[in-house]
Amino acid sequence: MSEPSEHVDLVALSLLPVRCWRRVGALLHAQIPPGSILERVSRECAPDASRPAALRSRAVAALDRAAASGIVFVPWSDAAYPAALAAIADPPAGLWARGNLAALSRPAVAIVGSRAGSPYGLSVAERLAGDLAGHGIVVVSGLARGVDSAAHRGALAASGSTLAVLGSAADVIYPAEHRDLARRIEADGAVLSELVPGTPPRKPFFPLRNRVISGLCRAVLIVEAGEKSGSLITARCALEQGREVLAVPGNVLSGRNRGGHALLRDGAKIVESADDILEELSVRVPGRPDPVGLSGPEDLVLRNLPAGEPCDLDVIADRTGLPSPRLLPRLFELEMQGLVRRVGGGRFVRV
């Protein structure tokens, strides 16, 4: 009951029906206070669902339950809320996290793929995850069987950080056989969910979860996706969010790579090694030419960020004329150079 009322409002927003989330996102982006959003959206968009007061009391209960099981609520308005995720059209009003929140603010790449990965797919996922982790990239995946868990394991084996985004609450580990893996992930990375604690896994949650996986990341790498793989949803989300889509090629006879190859046909970048990914992210790879990345508009971005005035991505995009997919990586770089700091609500401020 000691939670700030804004947190309660944000949790309550996450309890609105899924059909309202884009509207909620638009109003959050417009910096409307969460309490007002809750009143407005539940009136306009979900008049038949629970009233705000009922949602608020469920939110308070959720926050209490979270505290009891070591889960932290990272609200949209918090500086710890990942800037890349804040930038998407339908960002979660908050993230429930167990682990080390510092991992949320570092450059991240998703590695996702088949739950029935072949030895080849698992081996590639594990190796690439380890190599990315070795370059300080956070590896994001969905804790599923197969490629997802191989990616988490690869990052851990390289002593890197990894984020697992669940289709259930952060305290309901699914599949149960990955409980140990989840504990190991929490040591330096985090297990994340937008669902209030106690929520069991349900089919419709997984595609929604996928937009969070891609939203956290600068790029999504597909490893072994068949024609109907759920990881193709993550790839589609990435495209909508303006993130890079990458795919590892493989055997054309097994059918295991049909989805990934279709992405390559449609313009996804082909990945053989972590260097290929780092190049896409404009991270300097020793022995390769400097990426023709986003260093050009440096002055442009800084010039349009007045010191001390937090601006959200749309404002910076308007002022610089740069689309947000190009802007975000540059802002990350400036942040890592200590020239820009992220503040709540997906906003950036010049230091």
Q: To the nearest whole angstrom, how small is the minimum distance from the Cβ of residue 312 to its own copies?
A: 35
Q: Which is nearer to its own copies, 272 or 309 (CB)?
A: 272
Q: Which is nearer to its own copies, 89 or 252 (CB)?
A: 252
Q: To the nearest whole angstrom, how small is the minimum distance from the Cβ of residue 221 to its own copies?
A: 12
Q: To the nearest whole angstrom, how small is the minimum distance from the Cβ of residue 252 to its own copies?
A: 4
Q: To the nearest whole angstrom, how small is the minimum distance from the Cβ of residue 260 to its own copies?
A: 9
Q: Which is nearer to its own copies, 122 or 216 (CB)?
A: 122
Q: Which is nearer to its own copies, 158 or 196 (CB)?
A: 158
Q: Which is nearer to its own copies, 203 or 265 (CB)?
A: 265
Contacting positions for its own copies (CB under 8 A): 120, 123-124, 127, 248-253, 257-258, 261, 264-265, 269-273
Q: Which is nearer to its own copies, 195 or 246 (CB)?
A: 246
Q: To the nearest whole angstrom, how small is the minimum distance from the Cβ of residue 82 to its own copies?
A: 29
SS (H, E, C) the chain: CCCCHHHHHHHHHHCCCHHHHHHHHHHHHCCCCHHHHHHHHHHHCCCCCCCHHHHHHHHHHHHHHHHHCCCEEEECCCCCCCHHHHCCCCCCCEEEEEECHHHHHCCEEEEEECCCCCHHHHHHHHHHHHHHHHCCCEEEECCCCCHHHHHHHHHHHCCCCEEEECCCCCCCCCCHHHHHHHHHHHHHCEEEECCCCCCCCCCCHHHHHHHHHHHCCCEEEEECCCCCCCHHHHHHHHHHCCCEEEEECCCCCCCCCHHHHHHHHCCCEECCCHHHHHHHCCCCCCCCCCCCCCCCCHHHHHHCCCECCCEEHHHHHHHHCCCHHHHHHHHHHHHHCCCEEEECCCEEEEC
Q: To the nearest whole angstrom, how small is the minimum distance from the Cβ of residue 125 to its own copies?
A: 11
Give every CB contact of residue 57 below 8 A, 6+ residues apart in sequence.
none
Q: Which is nearer to its own copies, 119 or 338 (CB)?
A: 119
Q: To the nearest whole angstrom, how small is the minimum distance from the Cβ of residue 262 to its own copies?
A: 9
